Structure 1
Amino acid sequence: MSKITPLPDRITIEPKTTATACVIWLHGLGDSGAGFAPVVPLLNLPQDHSIRFVFPHAPEQAVTVNNGFVMPAWYDIKNVDLHNRADMDGVLNSEKLVHALINEQIDNGISANHIVLAGFSQGGVVSLFTGLRYEQPLAGIMALSCYLPTKNQLPSRLSDANKNTPILQNHGEQDNVVPMSAGKMAYDLLKSDGYKTQWQSYPMAHSVIPQQLNDIGIWLSNCLNNS
């Protein structure tokens, strides 16, 4: 019998109408779901939208590059070097958490192709990695200010299910935490392999800004209206 992955604690924001779609949005290192929950009104979605937003909290764990300090993290960061940064065991564990969150939505009547995986920084890494490998078509994958954890190559065990899924990749032009070149490397790898990915950079650091959030709202509406 396979082990059941427990659901992470999470903040859920319901629409005014019955939810017919869902965005699962993962935060960055040291943050929590509460860090991104306030962005929902800034997406400028239609008042009658039917999107449920789920903002999970990462588990607490020691982070090597922060002197082993325990904080919310989707995986350990072992090295500041991009190509040796992500602890893959941790990435795979977080992939299981995301699968559990997706399954919760499916059990509640929202099919996978009405679910968007989204994330910022570490959360973006996990959302992108998970979405590329997920075995059912998703509505979209959003990867903000992040990179691929598999260095300069695409992950193993890619699923054809999401080969045509819309992917949005955003990055700050003054990002001094995750260099924009890392995000662009991931974009180039995906584009060259035929993925339907869209790149947009913004004049910002390792953050999000209002214009970007408005653009994300338009992208989300398009993804979910076409799913």
Structure 2
Amino acid sequence: KGPIADGFRVSKEVGPCKYLLPRAPVQMVTCNEGRTTSWFDMSQLPLRATDSPPRHGCSLEEALASCGRVHAAIEKLVGDGIPPERIVVGGFSQGGAMALLASLTYPQRLAGIIVFSGIVFFADYLPALMAEHNQGYKVFWGHGSKDDVLDVSLQAAGVKALEEAGLQVTATQYQTVHSSTEDEMDDAVAFFNKLLAG
């Protein structure tokens, strides 16, 4: 539930499918000096592509533990009869980072990934972390050109890392800050529909 989930209107031509926008747990976040909804701890915000990974504050162990939560949600859908190749995982901000990492480390190939204003954590480890069958994954990445939390430079850096790892990325920018726009939702839904109608 939420504005991003509510913005999705899937074409009937797509047929049976699921898009998964997992909700993060509430936990301590260093840069917020308190507890909030979060997949990872963050030591600093805003972030730019020039900031070194240690300043992000997220450990690989913590990230992989969060991946386990998303993998469990995917397994629930698979258990309910939805084939993995009919599941798209997406998320906003940290959720976008989690959608990428969880999908790429999942042991079965999913349909694709949708990222809104996200970041690629552990880009240097990406090829080693990725399951072999995830080469050629299709990704939609929308980002605000005026993002004041995760700078738009992180999109360019992330797309470069993903493409070097063998993924196909559709990257777009929108005239907004750290939020989504109606045009972005429309583009993401079009990507989703095309991905699953083919």
TM-score of the superposed pair, with normalisation by structure 1: 0.76
Q: Are residue 75 (structure 1) and residue 47 (structure 2) matched? A: no
2:163 counterpart of 1:191: yes
| Equivalence for 1:24 | none
Residues 75-118 of structure 1 show CA distances to partners (whole Å, capped at 9, x for unaligned) of 11123354221422332121001100110011011111111010
Q: Which runs of 5+ in 2 are unaligned?
A: none
Deviation of residue 54 (structure 1)? 4.4
Between structures 1 and 2, the one with greater helix share: 2
Displacement of 1:47 in angstroms is 5.2
Distance 1:127 1:147 in 2: 10
Give the 5 Å matches for 1:76-115: 76-80=41-45, 82=51, 83=53, 84-88=55-59, 89-115=61-87
**Separation in 1 of the partners of 2:114 and 2:19?**
14
Decide whether the 8 Å contact of 2:97 with 2:120 is kept in 1: yes
Stretches of structure 1 that go unaligned for 5 or more consecutive residues are 1-32
* In structure 2, C-alpha distance between the alignment counterparts of 1:191 and 1:203, rounded to whole Å: 24
Structure 1 residues 85 and 92, CA gap change in structure 2 (3 angstroms): same
CA–CA separation in structure 2 for the residues paired with 1:201 and 1:55? 21
Superposed, 1:34-73 pairs within 5 Å as 34-40=2-8, 43=9, 45-46=10-11, 50-67=16-33, 69-73=34-38
Cα distance in 2, alignment partners of residues 186 and 54 from structure 1: 21
CA deviations on 1:104-137 (whole Å, 9 max, x unpaired) are 0110111111110101100000111112222211
The verdict on how the C-alpha distance between 1:154 and 1:184 changes in structure 2, with shifts beyond 3 A counting, is farther
For structure 1, which segment, 101-110 or 154-163, has the greater mean C-alpha deviation from structure 2 after superposition? 154-163
4+ residue runs over 6 A deviation: none
Q: Does the aligned pair in 1 maintain the 2:18–2:82 contact within 8 Å? A: no
Task: Give me the whole-angstrom Cα distance separating, in 2, the residues matched to 1:208 and 1:177.
Answer: 13
AA partner of residue 122 (structure 1): Q
> Which amino acid is the alignment partner of residue 162 of structure 1?
N
User: Does the C-alpha gap of structure 1 residues 85 and 181 become closer, same or farther in structure 2, counting only changes over 3 Å?
Assistant: same
Q: Secondary structure at the match of 1:153?
A: helix
Aligned 8 A contact 1:86 1:149 in 2: no
> Structure 1 residues 86 and 162, CA, compared in 2 at 3 Å: closer, same or farther?
farther
| RMSD, matched Cα | 1.9
C-alpha change, 1:74 and 1:96, in structure 2 (3 Å) is same
TM-score (norm 2): 0.86
From 210, 213, 222, give the equivalent of 2:182. Answer: 210
1:153 lines up with 2:121 in the alignment:
no
Identity across aligned pairs (percent)? 25
Query: Could you tell me how far apart the structure 1 residues matched to 2:194 and 2:181 are?
Result: 20
Greater relative CO (CA pairs within 8 A, separation 6+): 2
